[in-house]
Structure 1
Amino acid sequence: MASQNEEPIEVHPEDLWDIIFPFPNAYDAQSEGIRELIKTSTHEDGGYTVLEGACGTGKTLLSVVAGISLVRSPMTDFNRIFITTSVKQQLEAFEDDLEAVNEHLRELDPSQFDIPDELLDPITALSLVGKKDVCPFKYSGHIDPDYIYQNCSDLMDRTDDMINYYDDKMDKASAAEKLAADAQLAQGSDPEKSLDVEDPDTHPYPDTPPQLSGKTYCPYYAQWRLDDITDNKPIKYTGSVLTPQRLTERALQQGTCPHAAMKEIAPEAEVIIGNYVHMLQPQTVRAFTRHLMGNDTFLICDEAHTIVSKARRMFSKSVTLTGLNRSCEQIQQVIDWANKGPVEASEAVRDALSRAKLSPTDLQEFKRLIEFTIDRAEKSIPDNFSRADASAKELRNYGDSLEYSEHVPLRDPEEPAPDDISLQYVYSEFGDRDPPIASLGGQVGDGVREAFHEVANELPDVDIPTEVYAETVGPFIQQYYLQNHRDYFREAEIIPPDDFRAPFGNGAPEHQIDVPQPILLSVKNCVPAGKLSNSFDNFGSGVCMSATIAPQWIYRGETGLNYLDHEITELQYGLQFPEENRATYAVDLKKFTSRNRETKWANSQEEKKSIQRLRDNYYEAIKAVVSETPGNVLVAGPSYDEGEWAADRLEKDPDITKEVLLDTSSSNEATNKLRKEFIDGPPKVLTTGMLGTLTEGVDFDGDALKAVAVFGIPIPYLGDPVSDATQIAYSDLFSESGDSNAGFQYAHGIPAIRKARQAIGRVIRSGSDVGVRVLIDSRYCSGPFHSHLSESEREELDVVSHRSLAEEVSQFWSDR
């Protein structure tokens, strides 16, 4: 090792990874994968690896070790790893692997390696979570998790006001200290009780927010403000992964706000673990994680097959006509305060607008644009509704009698062209503005929010609204008028008022609100490739990985990776476990579609009999797997309804001796309880739908699952205009493929096959697992859907008839 007077030793990531790897030997796929990730990521233009690895590849550890090697090497510019996943179980898997790496590093003797000691220090890592996961007041039930963002924001604002009343730094510190101390005194202490995160009686402050002069505040946030003012950092990294549980415990021990502390220490971590919201959701990125990204950050995008569907939802925006109207009222309030309010309030509001780079005139113009949108929507929605004589007022009343939402497309879904509202915008006075007034949407939301906050300080007797509609409406208007008409589809929805749940202001969870006008105006994302490409470009390099990412060239197109000026590498690894421990069958039965699932669709008695025969044949195949498998069997249909059909047939069959459990759409708590019931005790059969949660991201360890029978293909309902628009957008995106059916296959077929592949992936999870995987539908046997299976799955697939399946399954188990 070089001394301080010698030239520093050059340590390439390739020289580090096998030292950092926490186990004696890496799998062959891990060794190759780590080297390929390092090679691609250190390309002069940066690079992304698209990695499909079946369960057992060791993808999590592979990516973590490659990332740490890149960060620790003095020869790269990487300083941080940013991990994002859509599955909580996977977040915990990353935490476990990082703990294994740290334990290994602590056991190493640095003198045995010709590298600087600090390269082998334990890794600093932090898991990011939302406020509802760490807020102490959640445990007392004082704050409903669905309302936590707004309630927390209100408490923090009031706490800030109490502290910021003073100008002098030390006076602010004294105010913050008193707020926290008074609350701690009110709580008292019980020396017999040790801290328990879930027991509010052991917390340092009362289980409800205390008050000062009749106003509630947050003592945890007050303590954090005190620490911030005095440059004290009570939460530090100690060589272990800072999980949400550990973070909350340490924060409570110090009496400080866990979420504020998490945001403060995040930049110091070498590894950040979060979910897709932290990478994609615009408000979260802007307010929290943007400074954690950059060319010095290596991205690990896990469960990457889900990112397109998640991104579509995050990049879509909706507002009610009520929200549009109320935003106009609030904006006018701000304009009036700026122009005609008391001097102190007027100056404060103008300062707030100035910080958002707005003037009262800008606000007035944006308000006019919202009014323009309301007026055109009131006319355009009835014009596009099937009842040509309906007025907007009648449609609101019509919503009262609806059982389900009714979609009103504002343009032909099969023609990516401007809708009526967008066309009128182009030819209006607003269409000639440069830059467009619509481009101020984000600034308007910020400006109005800050203006309300300033007025609350200057005019304490004035009622300030709890929801700032401009925070939602501003970005919506910006997206409605400035995004293209292929990747985005405009529609209205007429919604039963009692069932309506709208997103709260700033990207917070959904909650019930009073909606007198059940008409929702939406800009739905169909193809997120452009937006995703921008998100990927926020990082220096990275890896997108999943067990079901193929076909990779389609994935590169729909995620926008092909748009990047980066090196792109594709890796694919099949199951690494003994092939003799598993059997994979495809049952050649006529395709199982919505048309032939129910006899009510039959046009004749003969067709009715044909449908019933097909149903019986499908059941015979399901029964064969359930009867001949000596253990638990998971049966997955294309929907929950079909899972219920299978459960009903199995329960009524006297030949089936196993207990039949049915999974329906329910809470995570109910699903976990059902999973435990399935695993415990004698062999059972569990039926579910592949659009649910039990067939993806859930492990059935050891002997908990012996077979999976998938029947039908889980293509979601395609009868809505957005699905049609998405299919057309994919046709255009992949127009060079020469595939006349590209739109349907790439937009809907491939995601459906990925779900089926996830389902059969539940049964073989380790080298000792033995099991059967069955795909029941002729489309799995050949044709375009068959081609979307991985190469190794296609090679292993044995095509059988429904009549021979029982013998095949029985023979497999008798040979074991």
Structure 2
Amino acid sequence: MRFFPYDAPYDHQREAMDTIADTLDDGRDVLFEGACGTGKTLSALAPALAHARETDKTVVITTNVHQQMRQFVEEARAITEEDPIRAVVFRGKASMCHIDVGYEECQVLRDTTRDLVDSEVDKAQLERKQDELLEASQGGESGAAEARSAVMDELESVEEDVADLREEPTCEHYYNNLARDTDEFYEWLFSDVRTPDEVYEYAERETLCGYELLKEGMEGVDLVVCNYHHLLDPAIRKQFFRWLDRDPEEVICVFDEAHNIEDAARDHATRTLTENTLDGALDECEDSDDPRSEDAFGVLAAFRRALVSTYEDSFGFGEREAVGENWEDVVVANESGRDDLTLAFLEEYSGRGIDRDLEAALEFGEELDERYEEAYRNGEAQTRAECQTLQAAAFVESWLEEGTALGQYPVVSVRRDVGTDEVYGRAELYTCIPREVASSLFEEVHASVLMSATLRPFDVLGDVLGLEDPITMAYGLEFPEENRRTFAVSTPALFASERDDPEVQRTITRTIEDAIRTTPGNTLVFFPSYYEAERYHDSVDTRAERFLDEPGTRAEELRREFVDSEHAALFTSLWGTLAEGVSFDADDAYTVLVVGVPYPHLDERMDAVQDAYDQAYGDSNADAGWEYAVEIPTIRKTRQALGRVLRSPEEFGVRALVDKRYTETAEREMGKYSVRSAFPPEERRELIDIGPEKLQFSMLNFYGDHDAYGGDPPEPRLD
């Protein structure tokens, strides 16, 4: 309780904290589902900090949702007011850099700057030493003159080094980090919990590098707040733990919105190689007289020709001209045997051996990469070039060795270059099962707490992420049940084939209009896609102010405009950023509608994921592919959307699932098309089946019972 900053926890919070504390003592993982607004963050953070303080560990809490990051900062600030903790909120280098250079250039600038500062320190020490020896020599001390001569020789050499280094590219901000006393910065940093923006502003004002200062100051802190990639990317994770000066077993990980780990880990595991990178690699090989460059050119040129022929052969009449600016997949995987790109590559290749040539290409690439770094370090190049040959050869090697492994899906994509209007391609090893990436993390660290409002079914999540025998606990909405109604509205099922039916659209439109009209405030309306959101935004007839969320819209600005309204409706996609991790508290929104069952786009990649899960888990579950890849993620998204309202015991509101597939009748009559059974049992029990024409009356009664209208209730539609 020393790290619980408020008067008292809810009963379920105290129970959860006790369970997590005991589990951390045993070094086990926790899967913790808690309904939105029920205090999951502190339930996990308080016992984690207590365990870390007692056992000299560091807690790392992470999310991929920006608003949750801000919430973590608020909670950490509240904690440190009661019991001071040393906390760092860490963000990637790209958003913290004051001179806007890439990662490789930053590495070289940092190394050169450190060499310069070290040489200047050596120079200053030698100058002091020669002054001391000069004074000793003038005082008649035996041997002082000879020693001073040796020091002067060394000083001359160091002065030359300093002069040379001052001619090379360096970073002024990082130079000041090393040359100045930064104690004042760290006193400021740890006097409160500082956001990355605050650190950036401080560093910009003082011409320091805030990113490097944070890295240097992370050693032994109590708490780090960061993004998923700091833990899920194996290479970054290794560096990250080194900055903490912690072995993995000295780290406790807390993942918020943990239902997103699967997709995030999949992204980190996926590898790509573009045609442009191949072109750059071939140019490097042609410009070199290294004998290995010829072997590298042969194998990489064959892969490039195969890539081009593969996507060109896939085009039907007019399809090449229709390629747009976004990547579009070309299916190359075969049910039996190697993929089309590999077969084309083997046909194109005519060297003395692919393995031999790839080994030569890797050796040549590694040496060339070292030359690029040396050239930048010495000031011979304005930017730090990345070796295209090394990247291309490493990818081709992985493509051949891992392309047929379980969970790896080889795919080719094409897009149109905006600048040249030319079509070009890329090869990609898409990772279907992220278990390999995620499980290594959970095996390394002391323990992890994975929390979300939508983790169940726990066994599926444990399988997908590679968690061994985790402790599980789930808490539904603990707020008064009389303050909420959850309806399953039996409108027509919005199958893709039915969405354009005028009668279906009319029924859905009227249902949405009824819900908006009878809501004493704002309404959130979620759809399976932005396209459907726009369709009904344009067709709904309402006096409420309408807001449309579109791809590329700044979600926070839109949210603020919406909540500032007294009677508004916000139309958005359930796969957008407003469906989770964004709070609509108090009177920000009263009603939330989920229209349709928002299955993801079922393309070849999704088929590959389903096939991979079928192969991995099909022995114990004949429907593993569909359930793991499609149905369960969809219902998690739906439950996240429902959780946007009702964030405290005092709030009240209506949640409605608008599609008959959510109803109990569909469970009996529609078989596998029904989704009601995918909800947890206690949530199914709260679902009230209702016809679309009755929804407005039920809402009028509910909100009327809570005296929500502040006057006469709206008139129901009677036609």
Considering the TM-score relative to the shorter chain, is it more than 0.5?
yes
Within 5 Å, which residues of 2 pair with 1:110-121? none
Matched, 1:319 2:273: yes
Pair 1:223 & 2:145 matched: no
Q: Which residue of 2 aligns with 1:579?
A: 481
* 1:252 to partner: Cα distance: 4.3
* 8 Å CA contact 2:323, 2:415 repeated in 1: no
Partner of 1:589: 491
| Residue of structure 2 in register with 1:525 after alignment | 431
1:626 to 516, 521, 532: 516
The Cα of 1:710 is off from its aligned counterpart by 0.8
**Contact kept? 1:417, 1:486, Cα under 8 Å:** no
Give the structure 2 partner of residue 53 of structure 1: 34
Whole-angstrom CA distance in 2 between matches of 1:444 and 1:690:
48
The amino acid of 1:778's aligned partner reads K
Q: Distance in 2 between matches of 1:515 and 1:316?
A: 27
User: What's the CA shift string for 1:621-673, capped at 9, x where partnerless?
Assistant: 212211111111111111111111111121xx3xx2212221111232xx322
Greater mean deviation of Cα atoms: 82-91 or 420-429 = 420-429
482, 493, 496: which one pairs with 2:401? 482
How far apart are the structure 2 equivalents of 1:296 and 1:102? 22
- Cα deviation, 1:492-511, whole Å, max 9, x if unaligned, reads 11211118xxxxxxxxxxxx
Letter in 2 for 1:644: E
Is contact 2:483–2:653 with CA below 8 Å preserved after alignment? yes
| 1:232, distance to aligned residue in structure 2 (A) | 7.4
In 2: Cα distance, 1:725 partner to 1:736 partner: 18
Paired position in structure 2 for 1:602: none
Q: Give the structure 1 partner of residue 507 of structure 2.
A: 617
Please point out which of 543, 546, 564 is paired with 1:680. 564
Conserved in 2, the CA contact under 8 Å of 1:644 and 1:662? yes
1:116-173 alpha-carbon deviations (Å, 9 max, x no partner): xxxxxx2111011123433345xxxxxxxxxx342x7546635754663698452578
Deviation of the 1:66 alpha carbon: 1.4
1:730 to 603, 610, 613: 613
| 1:62 alignment counterpart | 43
Structure 1 Cα separation of the partners of residues 486 and 323 of structure 2: 49
- 1:155 and 1:217 in contact (8 A); partners too: no
Structure-to-structure mapping, 1:125-164, within 5 angstroms: 125-137=87-99, 148-150=100-102, 154=105, 157-158=108-109, 160-161=111-112, 164=115
C-alpha separation in 2, matches of 1:31 and 1:764 = 21
Structure 2 counterpart SS, 1:19: coil
Secondary structure in structure 2 of the residue aligned to 1:235 = helix
Q: What residue number does 1:773 align with? A: 655
Question: Is contact 2:574–2:637 with CA below 8 Å preserved after alignment?
Answer: yes
Residues 70-113 of structure 1: per-residue CA shift (max 9 Å, x gap): 1112xx4x5111111011111121222122222112xxxxxxxx
CA distance in structure 2 between the partners assigned to 1:684 and 1:614 by the alignment: 24
Question: Take 2:325 and 2:382, find their aligned partners in 1: how far apart are those partners?
Answer: 37
Question: How far apart in 1 are the matches of 2:477 and 2:366?
Answer: 50
Compared with structure 1, are the counterparts of its residues 318 and 573 closer, same or farther at alpha carbon in structure 2 (3 Å cutoff)? same
> What displacement does 1:736 show?
2.7
Within the candidate set 88, 101, 113, 2:66 is matched to 88
Q: Which residue of 2 aligns with 1:548?
A: 454
Aligned counterparts, 1:493-572, within 5 A: 493-498=413-418, 518-561=424-467, 564=468, 567-572=469-474
Q: 1:27 to 1:161 in 2, by over 3 A?
A: same
Give matches, 1:733-744, under 5 Å. 733-739=616-622, 741-744=623-626
Aligned partners of 1:285, 1:440: CA distance in 2, in Å?
Answer: 28
Give the letter aligned to residue 258 of structure 2.
Answer: A
Contact 1:416–1:486 (CA under 8 A) maintained in structure 2: no
Q: What amino acid sits opposite 1:727 in the alignment? A: Q
| Deviation by residue 1:588-636 (Cα, 9 ceiling, x = unmatched) | 23321221112xxxxxxxxxxxx22222222222122111111111111
Counting only pairs closer than 5 Å after superposition, residues 152-191 of structure 1 correspond to structure 2 as 154=105, 157-158=108-109, 160-161=111-112, 164=115, 168=119, 170-171=121-122
Counterpart position of 1:762: 644
| Secondary structure class of the residue paired with 2:406 | coil
* Residue pair 2:173, 2:208 contacting (<8 A) in 1 also: yes
Instruction: Write the distance in 1 (CA, Å) between the matches of 2:98 and 2:383.
Output: 26
Is contact 1:98-1:241 (8 Å) kept? yes
- 1:755 is displaced (CA, Å) by 1.4
Alpha-carbon deviations, 1:792-814, whole Å to 9, x = none? 21111111111211111111111
**The one of 238, 247, 256 aligned to 1:302:** 256
- Offset, 1:709: 0.9
Cα drift, residue 472 of structure 1: 4.2
Change (3 A) 1:402 1:71: closer
- Note if contact 2:376-2:384 (Cα within 8 Å) is conserved in structure 1: no
Query: How far apart are the structure 2 equivalents of 1:771 and 1:410?
Result: 49
Larger Rg: 2
1:330 and 2:292 matched: no
2:11 is aligned, of 7, 16, 28, to 28
Query: Structure 1 pair 53/478, CA: closer, same or farther in 2 (3 Å)?
Result: farther
Q: What secondary structure, in the 3-state scheme, does the structure 1 residue paired with 2:395 have?
A: helix
Task: Say if 2:689 is the partner of 1:799.
Answer: yes
Tell me the distance in 2 between the aligned counterparts of 1:444 and 1:286: 27
* AA partner of residue 21 (structure 1): F
Is residue 581–residue 769 contact of structure 1 (8 Å, CA) maintained in 2?
yes
Task: Report SS of the residue matched to 1:635.
Answer: strand
Residue 686 of structure 1 deviates from its aligned partner by: 1.3
Change (3 A) 1:331 1:765: farther
Partner of 1:666: 552
Structure 2 residue runs of 5 or longer lacking an equivalent are 126-164, 707-719
TM-score, scaled relative to structure 1: 0.73
For residue 333 of structure 1, report the CA deviation from its aligned partner: 5.6
Kept in 2, the 8 Å contact 1:331–1:448? The answer is no
Structure 2 CA distance for partners of 1:615 and 1:259, relative to 1, 3 Å: same
Partner Cα separation in structure 2 for residue 134 and residue 404 of structure 1: 28
Name the SS for the 1:757 alignment partner: helix
What CA distance in whole angstroms lies between the structure 2 residues aligned with 1:173 and 1:322?
Answer: 49
Deviation string 1:683-715 (CA, Å, 9 cap, x unpaired) is 111111111112221111211101011101222
- Cα drift, residue 774 of structure 1: 0.3
Q: Secondary structure at the match of 2:470?
A: strand
| SS of corresponding position for 1:769 | coil
Partner of 1:99: 77
8 Å CA contact retained: 2:234, 2:437: no
Cα distance in structure 1, aligned partners of 2:641 and 2:586:
17
For residue 526 of structure 1, report the CA deviation from its aligned partner.
Answer: 1.5
- Bigger mean CA offset, 724-733 vs 420-429: 420-429
Q: How many pairs does the alignment contain?
A: 653
Shift of the alpha carbon at 1:477? Answer: 3.1
* Cα distance in 2, alignment partners of residues 596 and 173 from structure 1: 80
Identity, in percent, stands at 29
Which residue does the alignment assign to 2:392? Answer: 473
Deviations 1:383-412 (A, max 9, x none): 5x254xx9xxx99xx368657644212213
How far apart, CA to CA, are the structure 2 residues paired with 1:439 and 1:747? Answer: 40
The separation in 2 between residues aligned to 1:232 and 1:477, in whole angstroms, is: 48
The whole-number CA distance in structure 2 between the counterparts of 1:703 and 1:334 is 67
- Counterpart of 1:38? 21
2:330 corresponds, among 382, 386, 408, to 408
Runs of 5+ in structure 1 lacking a partner?
1-17, 106-121, 138-147, 175-211, 340-360, 500-513, 599-610
Summarize the alignment of residues 436-455 of structure 1 with structure 2, pairs less than 5 Å apart.
448-455=368-375
CA contact (8 A) 1:234 1:254 kept: no
1:276 and 2:160 aligned: no
